[in-house]
Amino acid sequence: MDAADNEATEFIIHDTMVLTMDGARNAYESGYLWVRDGLVAGVGDATGLEALPRGIPRRSAAGGLLMPGLVNTHGHLSNGILRGIYDEMPLAVWFERGMWPVLEALDEEAGAAGARLALLEQMLAGVTTTLSAEFGTPNPRLADGVLQAISESGMRAIVSRMTVDSAVEGLASQAVPRKYRERPVDACREVERLQQDWCSERIAIAAEALGVLRCSAEMIEAMHDLAMRSRMLFTMHVASSREEHQECLQRHGRGCIAQLAEYGVLGEGTLLAHVIWLSPEEVRQLAAAGAAVSHNPVANAYYASGHGDLGALLDAGIRVGLGLDGASTNNSQNPWETMKAAILDQKQHAGDAAFGSAELALELATRGGARALGMEVQVGSLEPGKKADFIVIDASRPALAPRQTLVSNLVYSHDPGAVRDVYIGGERVVRDGVHQRLAHDEVLAGANEAMARVLERTGLDGYLATRGGWRWHRG
Ligand SMILES: [Zn+2]
């Protein structure tokens, strides 16, 4: 294999275990994947190789496990540099001291630096489709910085532009500084601009009204209408804290989901993130409307925001994907950890050790996520005609042994460093654990510089210096 391999438009990978994650759950102990023009041309058992056309270059992936790339249904790539600042900070304090002042400092350049770091981490761990929600205010170019980083990286992505125009003053978790609020007409224009400037085969734009209480009915309806008109995804952060839930009950006399049903914005083109605080009736409403959910178990636990009832959402037949959320609320961007957390959190909370399976976690992180994003025709499983987005895992890592329980070990005993190769649209973007488009050292140096600027501008450097009992000796 040489550098020209990365340019090849047609090739066959063989000599590897293959999990297709198709509807019938076909898996091959020794299988192959045939890629042509960025798409899956065929997949099957090694015995079928003989019947394929002659002369197609072959790559051996001996000792590997090949499966669809992972789909992250919720995150904030620009937050890649904000890891570790907010540990053990209650959510309300996080908004007041962290989020708003930091957003001010998060300009286009810092957003791009954060995104490159998060993209590098996600892609090295096997994510091939990611959703990133980015604020449109106060720095209207923040999303452009993130989109620039995405297009450099080769990631398949949806960037949703978050907007706010309302606030519950006095409730820190729902307050919004005045200068962050914008008019629906301006928000619509900006979403359309992003779509014009950045849409491509790999990148799509989505419209987002941030929350039920942070947006007026007009804003929520305007973002939803625009999304439906332009065939975009409509996204929101919803029912993500007890405070939001209680305030919504008080203000509207119903929960967040019921309020969105009232606005008429729950439908198949809607993806809601978090969705922790809802009644059984609201679960039925969500299911009946066909809206999808990004379940973000690590971020939910990080802020003790409540337990999202994954089992109830799945039982109701709701489309569910798994979200990492940003590095400021997780803090890792490791999808394997999120898969494990999703199952363990539900087992523990329901007191039911029989809940779920590694298979379910893999399903949620691949075809489940693709369905939640409305992208199941393109990605999420390895089937002819779908995008050739897949990963090859080194099955010989100690954490993945023994081989007899490999599928369970992928989820419950994963080593994210085991991801050897990552392909997006047939392009090998990660080769032997090395990103082929993003320069590792430059990404880290850029992240460190951007973080230093953000900390200095916000005064959070002083906070970090005094946190904990460490006695740092810095020469
Ligand atoms: Zn979020």
- Looking up residue 332, the CATH number of its domain turns out to be 3.20.20.140
Q: Which region among 366-370, 381-385, 456-460 has the lowest average model confidence (pLDDT)?
A: 456-460
Flag whether 447 is in a domain.
no
Q: Name the phi and psi angles at 411, rounded to 5.
A: -95, -50
- Position with higher pLDDT, 94 vs 351: 351
pLDDT surpassing 80 at residue 293? yes
- Band (145; pLDDT cuts 50, 70, 90): very high
- Residue 64: which residues within 8 A CB-CB, separation 6 or more? 15, 16, 17, 392, 393, 394, 395, 420
26: domain CATH number is 2.30.40.10
Q: Quick one: tokens of 429?
A: 């973007």
Q: What is the pLDDT of residue 1?
A: 45
- Per-residue pLDDT, 168: 78
Count CB-CB contacts under 10 A for residue 440: 11
- Kindly state the tokens that stand for 336: 């394997």
Tell me whether residue 43 is in a domain: yes
Q: Is residue 455 part of a domain?
A: no
* Same domain (yes/no): 275, 340: yes
pLDDT of the residue at 356: 97
Note the pLDDT of residue 176. Answer: 82
Among 255, 284, 254, 289, CA closest to 270 = 289
25 in any annotated domain: yes
CA of 75 to the centre of ligand 1 (A): 6
What DSSP string describes 414-461? --GGGEEEEEETTEEEEETTEESSS-HHHHHHHHHHHHHHHHHHHTHH
Q: Kindly state the tokens that stand for 72.
A: 């992250």
Whether 129 shows a pLDDT value over 50: the answer reads yes
Last residue in a domain, options 331, 351, 372: 372
| Predicted pLDDT at 93 | 66
Q: What is the mean pLDDT of residues 144-166?
A: 97
Ligand 1: distance of its center to the CA of 33 in Å? 35
Highest mean pLDDT among 33-37, 173-177, 455-459: 33-37
pLDDT given for residue 101 in this prediction: 84
On the question of pLDDT at 273 being above 90, the answer is: yes
Provide the pLDDT for residue 268.
97
Residues 359 and 233 grouped into a single domain = yes
Cα-to-centroid distance, 385 and ligand 1 (Å): 32
Task: Look at residue 177 and tell me whether its pLDDT is greater than 80.
Answer: yes
User: Of 303, 281, 142, nearest to 237 (Cα)?
Assistant: 303
Distance 374 CA to ligand 1 centre (A): 19
Regarding whether 87 and 54 lie in a shared domain, the answer is: no
Number of structural domains the chain divides into: 2
For ligand 1, the distance from its centroid to the CA atom of residue 18, given in whole angstroms, is: 33
Alpha-carbon span 288 to 292, nearest angstrom = 11
**Strand (E) or helix (H) holding 407:** helix 406-412
% of the chain exceeding 70 in pLDDT: 97
* CB-CB neighbours of 297 under 10 Å: 25
Q: Is residue 442 a part of any domain in this protein?
A: no
In this structure, the answer to whether residues 430 and 324 fall within a common structural domain is: no
Across 354-363, average pLDDT = 98
Looking at the fold, whether 344 and 204 belong to one and the same domain comes out as yes
Neighbours of ion ligand 1 (CB under 5 A): 325
Ligand 1 centroid from CA 253, angstroms: 25
Does any domain span residue 441? no
- What is the pTM for the complete model shown? 0.96
127 shares its domain with 273: yes
pLDDT at 473: 85
Name which of 214, 225, 209, 366 is nearest 272 in CA terms: 209
Residues 272 and 409 in one domain: no
Q: Provide the pLDDT for residue 3.
A: 47
Min mean pLDDT across 31-35, 212-216, 309-313, 363-367 is at 212-216
Within this chain, do residues 60 and 170 fall inside the same structural domain, yes or no?
no
**334 with 344, same domain?**
yes
Q: Say yes or no: 188 and 294 in one domain.
A: yes
Ligand 1 mean position, distance from CA 360 (Å) = 23
58 and 80 share a domain?
no
What mean pLDDT is predicted for residues 253-273?
97
Together in a domain, 296 and 184: yes
Angle at 150 between CA 147 and CA 155, to 5 degrees: 140
Q: Report CA(4)–ligand 1 centroid distance (Å).
A: 39
Closest C-alpha among 212, 147, 220, 105 to residue 458: 105
Say how many Å lie between the CA of residue 216 and the centre of ligand 1: 19
Q: Which domain holds residue 98?
A: 70-372
Distance (Å, whole) CA 4 – CA 11 = 12
**pLDDT for the residue 86:** 86
Residue 64 lies in a domain: yes
Residue 170, pLDDT above cutoff 90? no
Assigned domain for 470 exists: no
Q: Give 48 Cα–ligand 1 centroid separation in angstroms.
A: 44
Spacing, Cα 290 to ligand 1 middle (Å): 21
